[in-house]
Structure formats: C-alpha cells, structure tokens
Amino acid sequence: MKRDEDASPLIHENVTDDDDHHHARHHFTRDRDRPFWSNLPFFGDDLRFSPCNSRISLILLGIIVLAALISVFSIFHQLNAPYLCKKDGIVLHCPYVKEPASLWENPYSATTSWKPCAERRNGGISDVPPENETTGYIFIHAEGGLNQQRIAICNAVAVAKIMNATLILPVLKQDQIWKDQTKFEDIFDVDHFIDYLKDDVRIVRDIPEWFTDKSELFSSIRRTVKNIPKYAPAQFYMDNVLPRIKEKKIMALKPFVDRLGYDNVPPEINRLRCRVNYHALKFLPEIEQMADLLVSRMRNRTGSSNPYMALHLRFEKGMVGLSFCDFVGTREEKARMAEYRKKEWPRRYKNGSHLWQLALQKRKEGRCPLEPGEVAVILRAMGYPKETQIYVASGQVYGGQNRMAPLRNMFPNLVTKEELTTKEELDGFRKHVTSLAALDFLVCLKSDVFVMTHGGNFAKLIIGARRYMGHRQKSIKPDKGLMSKSFGDPYMGWATFVEDVIVTHQTRTGLPEETFPNYDLWENPLTPCMCKA
C-alpha cells in the first residue's frame, strides 16, 4: 500500500490509514459477494450488456467442468488399477481377458504350406553294403537325460552314414544326475529302429563276437577317438576318424554330445537325422499306450471333450542354481542358494561379488527361467481362462507349493502324471527314470498347446516334432526378454501388457521358420526335412 501511495497519482494524499483499511475491506467484501463467473471472460460487472457472451461462457464452463470430472475419474481409476496383476498374499488376481478365436490352434491358412518329407521311401534300392564290407564299426555312449540321448542316437546314425560304417546299437550311459541304468531296449523299439533304417545304415545289436575284449572299447585310448570338436563338420570325420576306423576296425567315439554340426553337413545327412528322430525312434508299445491313456484323461477331465495345455516348467533347484539368476525369496533362501552355487559351480561363483550384476544382465537378455507366477500372468494375458486344463511336465519345483501357488490359484486345473494315475499304474515305469520322462514327452507332444518356460533339449525336440508333424497345434515359446522388461516396468498397465504379449507371440506359436546359419535342426527342421505342400 505504501508503494501504491508513492506511485499512484489517483490516491489522495490526506487519506488516513483507517480510511485505507476500510476501503480495502469494502473492496474485499464486494469481490467476495460477486458471483465467481463474473471474473470469467465475457462476463462483466453488468451481465445485461452481454447476453450472447454469457451463453458462450456458460457452455465453456460446462465443458471445463466435464473435462475436470473425466480427469478425476481417470486418475482415480489409474490409482486403483493393479500393476499388471494384484497380489494378495500368494494369490495373483489378474483382470479378465477375452478369449481369442485362435487360442488353441494356429490359423489353418498358416499350416498348409509345408509337409514332412524325411520318411523312408518304400521300394527304393538300398546302397548299404553287407556288414563285412563296411569300413568298420563305431560305438558310442549316449550320455545325459533321455532327450540328450535321443539327439546322440540320431547323430550316431548320421556319422555312420558319413563314413559308411556299421553302427553298434548305442548304449545309454548312466548319468551322474539321472542315476539311471536304462538300456536302449528298455525305452525304444529296437526291431523297428533297425528295420526302418536298413536302407540307410547297417546297424547291429551288439559288438561282433570276434572282438573279445569289449571293455577295451572305452578303457583303451587306442580304441577311442577323443578329439572330436563340438558341431564338427562331416569332413572332419572323413579326414580324422575314418582312417582310424579302417585301421582298428572298431572304434569308440567319446565324448559324443553335440559332436556333429548342422549347416556344415550335406542336406541328405540332416534329412537322415530327421528320419531317425521322427520315424525310426519309437518308444516301446507299453510306454505309448500309457501315454495315450494320460492324453485321454486330460481330454476328458470336464466330463466332455476338452482341449488341454502341456506346460514344461523348468524351475528345479539345479536349473535355478545353474542359471545364476536372481529370484524372489527370503534372505535365508537366497543365502542357501548362494552356498549351493558355490559348492556346485565354484569356478563360476568365485567370490560372488560379480553375481548381482550378472543376474541383472541375464534377466535383461531374457536368459532366466520363468517363475511359475510369471507363467501364470503371461497365460492369462494371452486369454487362457481359469478353467484351462494344464498338464505339467516338471521335476520338483524349487520353493515347493509356495512357489507354485500363484500358478495353481490362477489355473486350478493343474495336474501331473502322478495325479492322473494310480500308484499301481506308474509302478511299472518307476524302475527307469527315462520311462517317466518318455511319458511326459508323449503327453506334451500330443497336447493342443505346448508352452515352454526355458530352453533345453526336451522343449526344442517337442517344438521341432510338432512343427514337422503338421504345426496346426500351437507351441508357444515366450519372449523372456520382453517379459522381463514388462515385469520390471512399474508404469505399465494391464491393457498395454496384454497387447504387447499378444502381438509379440503371434509369431512364436511353432510355425515353420526359415533356417539360418548355425540353426538348431531339432527345434526347426524346415529346410532339410520338410517340403512345400
């Protein structure tokens, strides 16, 4: 007020402070009593002189009030909307997603371009020489679990063909992890195997009788080829292995895991590997029959015919430890996992100081196994309803029932082979771990939808076989890199997440894909093993 008195020529000099105070109060009272819209544009002190302007201002006022109400509602909705899914203890509550039309199968138009063409040709002339006229004998131990052994058997047949050698029926080697003593004939139909490939490779059941010291095959360095590199080309066998076979007549190849490449061997050799995998290697009839029974029970769990999903859940303690990824858990749980990793993989563990950064990098790159709760959220976003029947192929899940709870609560119709059968029905298969694995393999292979959660031979063999056999049925391979980014985004809403999941996985449903250098034949057999329909 003092500044105004000095600056304004409109204020009379003899006005007292009391008068100023009264004058200011008068103006405040008058402004307070005026309607608030009199200060808006187009409204003056006298509305009588602007009837048109008053209507326009009222309209503008209404628009402003309506916009404000909408904004308030939107903010309130966003504040109360869950971040992806709302967690209530160990239960996840995800919003409803409408079930899409192509939920259970690939579009028919996308499944008619390719057909399998690696089967044997009936009536063809065999160029396989008699046993005594081949270049010699090769013998391998198929190591690892059932699916790694399956790949080794396919590769052994291919290598025998490359060198024109006789293949001695492979031995399924006891594995330190699996601790199994299964023989080839305990799992596979030997007669069918030998007969189906009779026009491709000479195969014998056992080491020839004239070779007396059988133990020498794997104990003597003179009888073992040990310098085969991983993914070796066909020419390596011709140059380095064949001369030793011709010299010694019988040679063991050790080790033999992934010892034959894909794009560095002739196309007909890759086609032969597909012939072995998809046609020659058949499980025993009793395994096939039990698997068919499990499939039938899965398809009739609702009292009428229903589709079912097979979920390969790779979240065992060994897989979690080997991944070196970080997962949700208590401080004590994380400490126990650190001790486990330090004991099992001391070279990788070192002093543990680098592991946190490594875990973040692996998760960002999508190289960590999906947790059961993450799988549940992804399936719900894809549109699978609560009533979905799910067959779980898995070892003992790390974290037990608490870790499985989010998945089981969101999809309660979740079963394993143990829950589908009686103890007596499975007793005949328990003596061989690989027999139980074979049941899981077949039930997953015949499912309407197959979902993998992490890499491995089991998943890629299933996806490859379903591609080869017709690819009408979906085989979903989640984009774990995208999922990691979405799960870590605190501002992503459910609708955006659903859209990302659906759009991203439209091209990840098991349709044949063009091959590329160093492609994996077992997951994508398109180029060498399939033909244009």
Question: Do residues 273 and 158 touch, judged by C-beta distance below 8 A?
Answer: yes
Amino acid at 155: N
The CATH number given to 93-113+284-315+369-532 is: 3.40.50
Question: What secondary structure letter does DSSP report for 81?
Answer: S
Give the distance between the most distant pair of CA atoms in the chain.
136
Burial 487-509 (b: 16+ CB within 10 A, else e): beeeeeebeebbebbeeebeeeb
241 vs 165: CA distance, rounded Å: 11
Domains 93-113+284-315+369-532 and 131-280 share a fold: yes
Q: Give the residue among 92, 232, 227, 217 at the shortest CA–CA distance from 162.
A: 232
Number of alpha carbons in the 13 Å side-chain half-sphere of residue 123: 0
DSSP 516-530: -TT--TTT--HHHHE
CB 351 within 8 A of CB 389: no
Distance CA 420, CA 227 (A): 46
Whole-angstrom distance, CA of residue 118 vs CA of residue 275: 5
Going from the C-alpha of 439 to that of each of 153, 414, 421, 427, the distances in angstroms are 19, 17, 12, 13
Residue 89's pLDDT is what?
Answer: 65
Cβ-contact 352, 342 below 8 angstroms: yes
504: Cα within 13 Å, side-chain hemisphere: 19
466 vs 474: CA distance, rounded Å? 8
Residues 6+ apart with CB under 8 A from 44: 38, 50
- Position 420 scores a pLDDT of 95
* Integer Cα distance of 123 and 216 in angstroms: 40
Per-residue pLDDT in tens (0 to 9) along the chain, 533 residues: 344 444 333 333 444 444 444 444 444 444 444 444 344 444 444 444 456 667 787 888 888 888 877 776 655 544 444 456 776 666 777 777 777 777 888 877 677 788 999 998 876 677 888 888 899 999 998 988 899 999 999 999 999 999 999 999 999 876 555 556 789 999 999 999 999 999 999 999 999 988 887 777 777 778 889 889 999 999 999 999 999 999 999 999 988 989 999 989 999 999 999 999 999 999 999 999 999 999 999 999 888 889 999 999 999 999 999 999 988 788 898 889 999 999 999 888 887 777 888 888 888 888 899 999 999 999 999 999 999 999 999 988 999 898 999 999 999 999 999 999 999 999 989 888 889 999 999 999 999 999 999 989 999 999 999 999 988 889 999 998 888 888 877 788 888 889 999 988 888 888 887 766 667 889 989 888 999 88
Instruction: Answer whether 510's CB lies under 8 Å from 476's CB.
Output: yes
Q: Where are the domains of the chain?
A: 93-113+284-315+369-532, 131-280
CATH number for region 131-280: 3.40.50
Q: Decide if 449 contacts 307 (C-beta within 8 A).
A: yes
Q: Is 37 helix (H, G, I), strand (E, B) or coil?
A: helix
User: Residue 130: is the preceding peptide bond cis (ω within 30°)?
Assistant: no
The pLDDT value recorded for residue 66 is 83
Q: E strands of 361-482, at which residues?
A: 390-393, 414-415, 449-452, 474-476
Residue type, 221: I
Alpha carbon distance 439, 291 (integer Å) = 5
Q: Residue 19 has which token pair?
A: 């008068």
Give the pLDDT confidence score for residue 14 in this predicted structure: 41
User: Residue 473, SS3?
Assistant: strand
In the prediction, which pLDDT does 433 show? 83
- The CA R_g of the chain, rounded to the nearest whole Å, is 35
Both tokens of 270, joined, read 């890759």
CA distances from 408 to 310, 382, 444, 451, 494 (A): 14, 17, 19, 16, 21
Rounded CA-CA distance 108/218 in Å is 51
**Tokens of residue 434, six digits:** 């690989």
